[in-house]
């Protein structure tokens, strides 16, 4: 992460996580009614928590790089969690094979980017 990043929205990983969270939100609304308060709600919350944790940690890094790293780790956990929820959605025939593959690949890339950000922040500490 460069020293010139002034807000979390400037991070490419945030941008990608935000975009896919919008896609996940929209598609989750199409899940059966019985899933709206369980699986659909869970994938909406997990996908959005990546961005929320990045934003909170980014602000708190003023006081502590270690704290920012902890929030990045939480974002990584949510990104990896999303891969499991997507697998459930595919296996329950809520998502197509193509949708599942696309989502899983994007979350794998987001996880890699988060790991890189974590390492970058660790070097700055």
| Parent domain of 16 | 8-124
Taking every pair of Cα atoms in the chain, the longest distance, rounded to a whole number of angstroms, is 47
Residue 2 lies in a domain: no
Residue 87 lies in a domain: yes
Residue 1 lies in a domain: no
Residue 64 lies in a domain: yes
pLDDT over 70, % of the chain: 97
Model confidence at 2: pLDDT above 80:
no
pLDDT in tens, 38-54: 999 999 999 999 999 99
Number of independent structural domains in the chain: 1
Instruction: Kindly report the pTM of this predicted structure.
Output: 0.92
CATH for 45 = 1.20.1440.60
Residue 3 lies in a domain: no
pLDDT in tens, 72-86: 999 999 999 999 999
């Amino acid at each position: 992460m460069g020293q010139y990043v002034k807000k979390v929205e400037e991070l490419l990983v945030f941008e990608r996580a935000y975009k896919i969270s919008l896609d996940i939100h929209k598609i989750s609304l199409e899940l059966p009614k019985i899933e709206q308060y369980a699986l659909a709600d869970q994938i909406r919350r997990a996908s959005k928590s990546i961005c929320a944790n990045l934003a909170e940690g980014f602000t708190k890094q003023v006081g502590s790089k270690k704290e920012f790293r902890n929030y990045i780790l939480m974002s990584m956990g949510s990104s990896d969690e999303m891969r499991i929820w997507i697998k459930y959605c595919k296996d329950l025939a809520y998502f197509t094979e193509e949708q599942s593959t696309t989502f899983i690949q994007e979350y794998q890339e987001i996880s890699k980017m988060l790991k890189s950000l974590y390492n970058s922040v660790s070097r700055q500490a």
